[in-house]
Amino acid sequence: MNGSSNSLFQKDLNPVPGWSILTFLAVGLTIGGGAIWLLPDRSMVPLMTTFFGTGLAAVLLAVLPMGLEAALQALALRRVGLWQVVLAVVGTTVLSFIVSQLGPQPEGVRQITESVHNPSVLMPTFLVLAVLAPLVEELVFRGLLYGWIAGRWGPLPAFVASSLAFAAAHGEPAHIVLVLPLGFWFGWLRWRTNSLVPTIVAHMINNGFAVLGAAWLGS
């Protein structure tokens, strides 16, 4: 794999600077928080669209001052082989199926499952959960956060911290437990491939399967 020779203790040569993290937090908390507070419709799709949309804007504002090439390198948006993407997708699908059998369905997942039974909600929900949300989550946790920590203390702390933060961000304890194995899997892919591309693709396809599966089961 690309980057397979990287040591878990070698610092990243293209780290995310600290000011990028501060910019992301400032933009996310002010613009994102304000946008959600002013949102007239607090139903699931508008709320998630606003949340992840402002998250994407915060990421872009945090890295674009670095310049396009430096930003792509810092976020590990590097080309990889097709087989690496296929491995990521297959591994994610298998792991997701296994962990889904280990416990009760989290409340947040149940709400999404019920909402996509409405055909008018299915497409916008799919676009948010299968495209926007995975993209933003990967850019934040295994892009910004991983890159910042790896540049200072190496990939191992970055791998652990980004995986735990990714799981914790899902809030609900039952959801955290189910998401944590995926967080570690995505973190391992990020380290071994030295790229965010496999995790973004696998995350999108996994979420897409989940949304379409929920819609199909409810039809």
What are the angstrom distances between the C-alpha of 149 and each of 10, 49, 75, 104, 154? 11, 28, 12, 34, 7
Task: Label residue 5 by pLDDT band (50, 70, 90).
Answer: very low
Contact 6, 154 (CB under 8 A): no
Contact (CB, 8 A) for 159 and 187 = yes
Residue 210 has pLDDT above 80, yes or no: yes
Tell me how far apart the alpha carbons of residues 15 and 13 are, in angstroms, rounded to a whole number: 6
Q: Would you state the torsion angle of the CA atoms of residues 29, 35, 40, 43, taken in this order, to the nearest 10 degrees? A: -60
**Considering the chain, what percentage of its residues have pLDDT values greater than 70?**
92
Instruction: Look at the pTM and tell me if it is higher than 0.85.
Output: yes
